[in-house]
Amino acid sequence: MTTLANIEINAAYPFAMEKRVANAIAMRRRSTNVEDAEKPFYVVDLEPVVSRFLAWKTSLPCVEPHYAVKCNPNPVLLKTLSALGAGFDCASSDEMDRVMSMGVSADRIIFANPCKMAAQITHARQLGVMRMTFDNEDELLKVAQYFPEAELVLRIATDDSHSQCRFSTKFGAAMEDVPSILETAARLNLNVVGVSYHVGSGCGDPRSHAAAATDALAVFHIAKQYGFSMSLLDIGGGFLGEDNPSPSVVDIAVNLLPVLAQFPPGTRFIAEPGRYFATACHTLVANIQSRRVVKDRQGHITNCLYYINDGVYGGFNCIFFDHKHPLPRTMLLSDLEDRAIVPSTVFGPTCDSLDCVCKDVPMPLLGIGDWLFFTDMGAYTTAATTHFNGFDGAVDYVYMYGDIIIAPSLLETVDSVSLALAQLVPATVSTASHSDDVEIISAPDSPVLGMEEEC
């Protein structure tokens, strides 16, 4: 039997995440060499992925989540979502290949890139990925040439003024352009099967979804004038992923479901949540490599500069690309109460002065070799990591389900992930069987996934 989680941790730790990070650090120190043990890494907790999937199926039972691969293409995250039954939103040949290599069928994928390269349209045709989005007449001409039998989904613009990242400046047909676009599609004898929209990534107003769906319903009616009987609505993304978000998926459902009920019977509803699943499951753990203490003339510490082994060219690229403001959390040390609290600035490892994670954050005085960790680091972090200045950032992972560490060997395929989840969350996956490779420290509650429901 492989022992996966048998590490002593301080029972005085008051917070679950500190326990898990300490557990992961101890395991890495035991299983890797000294140099590798000090490298940055991610703790990936699959429990919030499962719990969010269950919450989704409860709140929006008639909407099939298609995970936005661009948000975080971590293979274990993809396999977990596949095991749970999610579909996938892919925007490139690479993403389609990545998902299908896990055994995901083409009918669980939407090629959700309104402006595609011709070679990638051809690739989708070769893979049998039929559904793809578009938002203009030139794209229709391209599809007519390379994939005339595709099932096309017209993306419309939305009011995304309440979102962190606004997309309608780049994608989405204006409502006044819809008739001419559909007329062109009819003339080219193409098959337009539905509508998509995206209220923007990290949307803060639940009413935005209802407003966009109302516009989409109008497009359904307009489409009939051009011979199209639409049967698919893709409500896009914009669902927040932190714990206790506002708006929550429940808030969105309250506003959205009454509009979805107005669509023709038999309409299929899908969505493209990314950060909703990815945000909370990743915690970035970094080691303090260097330190500079700044003192005034009287010798009092006025500031402390820390240099950690990941930065804005690694996982913290989200500071620039996703408007994120990550804050460090410290491990609980035995003498923590005796340490002075000083304004602290945390820099990444590169020689670029822009490589700054946070400034003037009150922190206990720490030393070289101490650890910091940053929660909610799963969305739009690893996907844009670079090798600038020769630094890789965090490329190692410790996988957990709550307090349980899971061996990488159990996470190699969708089937093996299904087996692991079956023991961790009984009845989650119907194909599950007992595995002797998982040692449970404390068994979590075991929610059961329900059957598909109608809105």
Give me the active site residues, please.
351
Structure tokens of 72?
């975080």
Strand 282-295, strand 371-374: pairing: antiparallel
CA dist 342 to 295, 305, 311, 373, Å?
11, 10, 21, 18
- Report how far residue 64's alpha carbon sits from residue 272's, in angstroms, rounded to the nearest whole number: 9
Query: CB atoms < 10 A from the CB of 330, how many?
Result: 17
- For the chain, the C-alpha Rg in angstroms (whole number) is 24
Q: Quickly list H helices, 345-438.
A: 414-424
- Report how far residue 162's alpha carbon sits from residue 60's, in angstroms, rounded to the nearest whole number: 21
Please name every residue paired with 301 in a beta bridge, in sequence order, or none if there are none.
Answer: 295
Q: Do the Cβ atoms of 77 and 277 come closer than 8 Å?
A: yes
- Report how far residue 388's alpha carbon sits from residue 187's, in angstroms, rounded to the nearest whole number: 49
- Report how far residue 217's alpha carbon sits from residue 14's, in angstroms, rounded to the nearest whole number: 50
Of 394, 426, 416, 420, residue with least CA distance to 405: 420
Q: Do the Cβ atoms of 260 and 233 come closer than 8 Å?
A: yes
Structure tokens of 343?
């304004």
Buried b (16+ CB within 10 A) or exposed e, 286-307: bbbeebeeeeeeeeeeeebebb
* Tokens 């995970």 found at: 67
* Measured torsion, CA atoms of residues 322, 328, 396, 105, in degrees rounded to the nearest 10: -40
